[in-house]
Structure 1
Amino acid sequence: MGVKVQDSKIYLPKLGWMGFFNSRLIPDGFTIKAATIRKRQDGWYVSIRIEDKSIPDYLSKPLNEVDSILGCDLGITKLVHLSDRHQIDNPKFSTNKKSLRTLKIRQRRVSRKIKGSKNRKKAARKLGRFHKKITDKRVAYQWDIANKIVSRKVDAIALEDLNIRTMLKRCRVKTDESTGRFLKNGQSRKKGLNRAISDASWGELILKIEYLAAKLGKVVIKINPRHSSQECRKCGHIDKSNRDGEKFICTECGHHEHADIGAAKTIRDRAFKIVRGDSPELAAVSS
């Protein structure tokens, strides 16, 4: 006997019937395929996978029919920069001043309690609920942003093909050859950057954009972002010194613009080259 739902009760194999809060009704015609149970800080959650074979699969537009593309450059100061010059704010849910202070206080309260005591478990649950609150806010905000990006009147969306796991790696250890002592390798400075990248959660945002784009039949093209913010859009000159923070001034021809918006436009143009077959580079295309 599989999973069954009746009003505010659910039947789970090996567990039987139990009460639950049915937050979303199952539409007519859908059948339950599987259920996943998860324990979070404030209780148990069940996710139900449903299927209706009468609904056709989403079909994306072929690449040769793509006429308009929106380029997206992900960042820290602003969460997303778009090629149409629109910028989306980054609320920094877990790294803003108020959240950092609250986390510091609650983590200190946990550490000061006796290990194994009820008071320590109570403080740990309170800390866990705050982490969950931050996660829920971030997820809700990302769905809102993904909707705004995908709902634009374009045929395709160009995203950076980021290797986030590599970006979060620790710096290599440096040692003095003569004394063997450890030298500064920039890890303490990179720690703050890693925390900001994790808070931005680019990977989750990209997944949400891909999911919503597929529902609307739009194509997602992943582009190699190498030198996208250092390449001059006027003369093509690539130089690290072209960029100074958010300012871009080409050292070759003097062209200037916003560095991140220029990067979004470069990503859009690289996607157009792939669509037209002018680029020798391979790109990942989601449909």
Structure 2
Amino acid sequence: MTALPYLKKARPWFAEIDSTVLQQNVKRLDTAYKNFFEGRGFPKFKNRSNFTSFTYQMGVKAQGNKIYLPKLGWLRFFNSRSIPTGFTIKAATLRKRQDGWYVSIRIEDKTIPDYVKKPLNEVKASTPLGFNPERSRRVNSILGCDLGITKLVHFSDRHQIDNPRFSTNKKARRTLKIRQRRINRKVKGSKNRKKAANKVGRFHKKITDKRTAYQWSVANTIVSRKVDAIALEDLNVSGMLRRCQVKTDEKTGRFLKNGQSRKKGLNRSISDASWSDLILKIEYLAVKQGKVVIKINPKYSSQECRNCGHTDKSNRDGEKFICTECGYHEHADIGAAKTIRDRALETCIERSRNIVRGDSAKLAV
């Protein structure tokens, strides 16, 4: 921040840019270097082509289908969502996309209370047989969710939600292949190549918009269930997308097959499903409706037998689950959703018992 006055003297054209925009860019740079010193990668240089967003912190006004931006003046825009009465504009961010510029406005109304995430140990609930309800408060009902690729979500009540595969279906892959080929046939640096690349970008944006709209619909479907809590997998998606380790022959030093070519298709399907974004949407809507989201370690959830508890990789064959010990059979992903639900229930019981022990100790003193 303190270097901005010197930068403005060295570059007079900085006077044409709003001061809050410059301040936000300096904050971005500071955040990037903090991430670097904490081991999150070196900051990437932003040039004219990839610096596509900036933020105003004050001075933004909106009237109907017009918006005022400092140093730019009044501009017309498509008012897709009008600002409710009583709210004030706090900031506005402009982003350049393949089909034009978009503006997102942050608004505030201090009279409206914030959404508060309900703690797991404060949820009122009844308890099953054999457990004293006076000693503990538990979640009355939990919906277990197992995220997948063949089906996007498997529920513990045996319902399933389809996965449209927006970017990995046959039609989308063929269209992308044709349009990418057209880019490669154009001369590098030519206007026709930029036009062809812009078409590919618009196609990717169309896929992203479809996926986002579908995920909001799925998240609403999950959260609107009549349950007190939603159990989700605590997934490390970035770790799942990591490349396979390199294998070499000890004698010759030649590279051996490590399964990366097969994993490439799986990685593409995982990215298309976008589980992390879906989980964020579910958490957001759950807080608004006062429900609890419990993240459970999904380790061996689809390989553990629900009848005898035997865990073995050979228990699962695709979507089929047949226990090698007792012969119990079920849909593998639905069984995993039930296991996640049961693990979440055990978590509720354990937390409730810990609270009871703590309260009892205080009373004894």
TM bin (shorter chain): over 0.9
Tell me, which stretches of 5 or more residues in structure 2 are unaligned? 1-57, 125-138, 354-365
> C-alpha separation between the residues in 2 aligned to 1:8 and 1:112?
41
Q: Which residue of 1 aligns with 2:60?
A: 3
Q: Do the aligned residues in 2 keep the contact of 1:270 with 1:279 (CA within 8 Å)?
A: no
CA shift digits 1:131-169 (9 cap, x unpaired): 111111100000001000000000010000000000000
Note if contact 1:75-1:81 (Cα within 8 Å) is conserved in structure 2: yes
Q: Which amino acid aligns with 2:108?
A: E
Whether 1:144 and 2:217 are equivalent positions in the alignment is yes
Residue 73 (structure 1) shift: 0.2
More helix by share: 2
Using the alignment, how far apart are the partners of 2:151 and 2:78 within structure 1?
Answer: 37
Q: Residues 113-132 of structure 1 correspond to what in structure 2 (within 5 A)?
A: 113-132=186-205
Q: 1:17 aligned to 2:74?
A: yes
Could you tell me whether the CA contact under 8 Å between 1:273 and 1:279 is conserved in 2? no
Amino acid at match of 1:122: K
2:207 aligned partner: 134
Counterpart for residue 37 of structure 2: none
Quick one: distance in 1 between partners of 2:313 and 2:167?
Answer: 31
Match of 2:257 in 1: 184
Aligned partner (choices 97, 103, 114) of residue 176 of structure 2: 103
Contiguous gaps of at least 5 residues in structure 1 = 281-287
Which one-letter code corresponds to 1:45 in the other structure? Answer: Y
1:61 CA drift (Å):
4.3
Question: For the residues of structure 2 that align with 1:123 and 1:5, how far apart are their CA atoms?
Answer: 35
* Whole-angstrom distance in 2 between the partners of 1:226 and 1:13: 52
Q: Identify the match of residue 248 of structure 2 among 154, 172, 175.
A: 175
SS of 1:106 mapped into structure 2: helix
| Alpha carbons 1:72, 1:81 under 8 Å: kept | yes
CA distance in 1, matches of 2:335, 2:198: 45
The whole-number CA distance in structure 2 between the counterparts of 1:85 and 1:233 is 15
- Asked if structure 2 preserves the Cα contact closer than 8 Å seen for 1:4 and 1:11, the reply is yes
Paired residue total: 280
Which amino acid in the other structure matches residue 113 of structure 2?
P
- Distance across 2 between alignment mates of 1:26 and 1:61: 28
Which one is further off, 30-39 or 202-211?
Answer: 30-39
Q: Is the 8 A contact 1:232 1:255 kept in 2?
A: yes
* Structure (1 or 2) with the larger CA radius of gyration: 2
Contact 2:118–2:287 (CA<8 Å) still a contact in 1? no
1:275 — aligned with what? 348
What one-letter code is carried by the residue in structure 2 that aligns with 1:221?
I
Give the 3-state SS of the residue equivalent to 1:17 in structure 2.
strand
Q: 2:93 aligns with which of 28, 36, 53?
A: 36
Mean Cα deviation higher: 18-27 or 101-110 = 18-27
Q: Counterpart of 2:278?
A: 205
Counterpart-to-counterpart distance in 1, 2:74 and 2:206: 29
**Residue number in structure 1 paired with 2:227:** 154
Deviations 1:79-134 (A, max 9, x none): 00001100000000000000000000000001100111111111111111111111
TM-score by length of 2: 0.75
| Letter in structure 1 aligned against 2:109 | D
What is the one-letter code of the residue matched to 2:95? R
Greater strand percent: which structure?
1
Q: Report the equivalent of 1:285.
A: none
Is it true that 1:214 corresponds to 2:271 in the alignment? no
1:78 is aligned, of 127, 151, 168, to 151
- Conservation of the 8 A alpha-carbon contact between 1:61 and 1:155: no
1:279 Cα offset (Å): 10
Deviation at 1:62, TM superposition (A): 4.1
Write the deviation string for residues 207-257 of structure 1: whole angstroms up to 9, x where unpaired. 100011111000000000000000011111100011111111111111111
- Partner SS, residue 277 of structure 1: helix
C-alpha distance after superposition, 1:169-228 (max 9, x if no partner): 001111112111111111000000000000000000001000111110000000000000
Which amino acid in structure 1 is aligned with residue 157 of structure 2? D
Which residue in the other structure is 1:257 paired with? 330
Bigger relative CO (Cα 8 Å, ≥ 6 apart): 1
Are the counterparts in 1 of residues 95 and 103 from structure 2 also a CA contact under 8 Å?
Answer: yes
Superposition deviation, residue 3 in structure 1: 1.2
Q: 2: CA distance between counterparts of 1:153 and 1:238?
A: 32
Give RMSD over aligned pairs: 1.4
